[in-house]
Structure 1
Amino acid sequence: MRRGEAFRVDSGQPESEVRAAEEAAAAKAPVRWFEFCRDYVAGRWQTSAAKSREGMADSLAAVALAMVTRADDMPTDEELRLALRWAVVPANKGADPPAELKTAYDWLSTSDRPVTDLHKPEVFRDVQYRLSFRLDGVPAAGDTFRRRRRALNTALEHAVDTGVLTENPLQRARMKRLASSGTVDPRVLVNAVQGRQLLTAVAYVGSWHRKRGRRLTAFYAVMYYAALRPAEAVGLRLSDCDLPAPPEDGQVPRWGTLTLRETRPVSGKQWTDSGERHDRRGLKAREATVDRPVPIPPVLVAILREHIRLHGTADDGRLFTNERGDLVGTSTYWRVWEEARLLALPPDRVKSPLAGRPYDLRHTCITRWLNAGVPIAEVARRVGNSPEVIHRRYHGCVDGHEEAANAKIAKSLEEEGDTA
């Protein structure tokens, strides 16, 4: 009374004691999954690339389906997943969710489980299922499973460090998952004739006036002849290209060089700092200031010079643009490629895995270099992978290994017979 402090009429407790009791109760309350995901992503946002942010959100959203109280009238799993992906973006904190996600957002924020429920066997079994399967019940791809598990493991290690969990349940769990070799399927590789037919077919996609396919012929060619990743091709500039002039009569065509300096991966506007769909990053698995020179054969030099003559460059010097002059999006080069396969390949090949993705052109190029006898270390340097990755992923695509191994075994058997 002397301090003039307000008090509760029903209990007589002064305001300071009530506040202290509420704070103590809040400190003892377990951290719930929705709150944990928001705080965790916000803490890692500034130091993460856009693709990493999206992958982190996708992994946590998959696990969120096991971290809510299930009921007959609850939103669909797809709505819950989209609601969490929206909610963890720091810029959306405090904002009203989109109308189509409002119900799912409210359910997530009120019916989510405490993070400590991960220690319950029935909850953790569901988490394992969500990591391993898609929403339609089909097993997720091996890369998807590994990415989700890796992201969840990092998040749970953070939970242990901050005292939310006493231990990481993933570390003591045996994840029953079919092993994936991670090797390239030889069926996706094209031969020289098929490669030329596909590049030619690209030019006939779309109307001739709008040049939808023609402006992307060289885009696929840098993957096929120089093993560029699609994101590296999107960011390729004229200043990155050393393209010797056509040879005079009697001269040998000269090789050129592409000096790669950045990638432009597609992530979505909500994941990038610029608000654009494409992020701007350094080369994969390299320091931000480190470039990667890639020698290119005369045939690719000629294709790029012709592309520049016909289509010019974007205002910032980029070689490849869409029909509006903007960055080439994933959907753009996928649609053109699907149409080109229909034009270039017979029906039975269209239904096969052959060149099913634009990325398979990179696989074809790497395999061609290895079969030509280029040392693995040099191939790894040109494509931006480690020699271990090249050896592991492409070992089954190199011609002659089986015959060479059989010859060595036969020779060994002959020597044993001679000795006997």
Structure 2
Amino acid sequence: MTTLIKDTSGRTSKGSVAILCSNSRLQLRFNYGGKRHYLSLGLPDTKVNRKAAELKVQIIERDIAYGEVDLTLQKYKPQNSLGAVSLEGLEPDLRDLWEKWVDYRKPQLEAKTLEWFSTMGNHIHRMPVYTLDQSHQIRDWIVANIAADMGKRLLTRINACCKWALKTGLIAQNPFEGMAAEIKLTKAQNTDHFEIDPFAREEQEAIINAFETHRYHKIYAPLVRFLFLTGCRPSEALGLKWRHVDDDKILFKEAVVYANGKPTAKGSTKTGKDRFFPINKTLGAFLDSIKLENAKSEDLLFNIDGKPMNYNLFWRAWHGRKSGKKRYVGVVTNLAEQGQIKRYRHPYQCRHTFITQCLEAGVPIPQVAKWVGNSPTIIMQHYAGILSSVQVPEF
């Protein structure tokens, strides 16, 4: 746990140095050269040591003012005359590093990503060991206690955290380098929605039909069909209002993401760029079928009692969930278990399915990229396997 003891300006702004207490040890934090720097003093949090920390603050603030900061931080570290301090314990543990890294990344992250980081942080705080010299025990605990795909992602983020800590001088080495790559996922375990694994057309129809006929989850059927028809991102579909729909095109301009269980409206798509999507006969008929006679321009296309549709609940309907010892099987999970589709796949594969079908139909790559909000380069990189199946024309 990190606690702010003193900040000469009320916040760590340019020219000021904050004194922190982390795991009963004193640290300094300041901004310089566009980066945030941490200095572990290695001193217990006592009145005497706080005075020593304040002297260090004065030195650093003077160097900041004159542009003479020692970026190695060696100048500001306690000398041996301050007392014998063993090297063990000078380095912050993984819990402390994670808090610092998330704090550093926070201004750059969306609410949904911060929610994921919070979940990962909870896993870290559950670990029985957390010092960096116990990295292999940490890895073994992750493998034994966390699902393989989540465990791999957690180790990937821990490695990124420690890379940052190494670069900023908080630690001497990164013991987690390469550990995530050691976790091999089977096809069934890999729920990464970035892997291209499109549904066949008969699988697509089976999924739509299963939602349409489901007693509890049929409310999500229009959303599922729309994702297959447009290849848009789920967050973009959830942000669509009727004012975004014309007779011949849809404007993807806004998005809705969920963080801490609450919808957060974004004034832009994931890429920050607006885009138009043409309405063909099939899509036009679908939109007509879901539009209420009294629909207003500000009404969401996909809503429940006028409120934004909750993606987390949609995910549960698609995938399933556990509650205690009871297991609730999701619609698509059930189709996979019953053999009606080849295997389970993430909802994001609706997008990959649309892109794949467009490429197979011979739609030019720049046009597909324009429709789905990607660059032609990304389409080429990620769908090279699909493109390789296209036959050379006869001349």
Normalising to structure 1: TM-score of the pair? 0.58
The equivalent position to 2:161 in structure 1, one of 130, 155, 176, is 155
Structure 1 residue identity aligned to 2:306 = G
Superposed CA offset, 1:220-261 (max 9, x none): 22211110121111111112112x2xxxxxxxxxxx222111
CA contact (8 A) 1:201 1:343 kept: no
Structure 1 residue identity aligned to 2:339 = D
1:266-285 mapped onto 2 (5 Å cutoff): 266-269=258-261, 276-278=262-264, 280=266, 282-284=268-270
| Identity in percent | 21
Alpha-carbon spacing, 1:349–1:20, altered in 2? closer, same or farther (3 Å): same
Q: Which residue of 2 is the match for residue 164 of structure 1?
A: 170
1:19-418 mapped onto 2 (5 Å cutoff): 20=51, 30=90, 31-63=92-124, 68-69=128-129, 112-113=130-131, 118=132, 120=133, 123-129=134-140, 133=143, 135=145, 139-140=148-149, 145=152, 147-170=153-176, 175-178=181-184, 183-186=195-198, 189-191=199-201, 195-196=204-205, 198-206=207-215, 213=218, 215-242=219-246, 244=247, 256-269=248-261, 276-278=262-264, 280=266, 282-284=268-270, 286-287=271-272, 290-309=273-292, 312=295, 316-322=298-304, 324-334=305-315, 337=318, 347-349=338-340, 352-353=342-343, 356-397=345-386, 400-401=389-390, 404=391
Where 2:383 maps in the other structure, the secondary structure is: helix
Superposed CA offset, 1:51-86 (max 9, x none): 2212333444445566x44xxxxxxxxxxxxxxxxx
Structure 1 residue identity aligned to 2:115 = E
Q: What is the aligned-residue RMSD (CA, Å)?
A: 4.2
Q: CA deviation at 1:368?
A: 0.9
Q: CA deviation at 1:38?
A: 2.9
Count, aligned residues: 303
Alpha-carbon spacing, 1:20–1:134, altered in 2? closer, same or farther (3 Å): same
Q: Which has the higher helix share?
A: 1
Superposed CA offset, 1:83-137 (max 9, x none): xxxxxxxxxxxxxxxxxxxxxxxxxxxxx53xxxx2x3xx222344466x3625x
CA contact (8 A) 1:224 1:365 kept: yes
Q: CA deviation at 1:357?
A: 4.3
Larger-Rg structure? 1
Q: Which has the higher contact order (CA 8 A, sep 6+)?
A: 1
Q: Which has the higher strand share?
A: 2
Normalising to structure 2: TM-score of the pair? 0.61
- Name structure 2 gaps, 5 residues minimum: 1-45, 55-77, 320-329
Alpha-carbon spacing, 1:205–1:161, altered in 2? closer, same or farther (3 Å): same
- Name structure 1 gaps, 5 residues minimum: 1-14, 70-111, 245-255, 270-275, 409-420
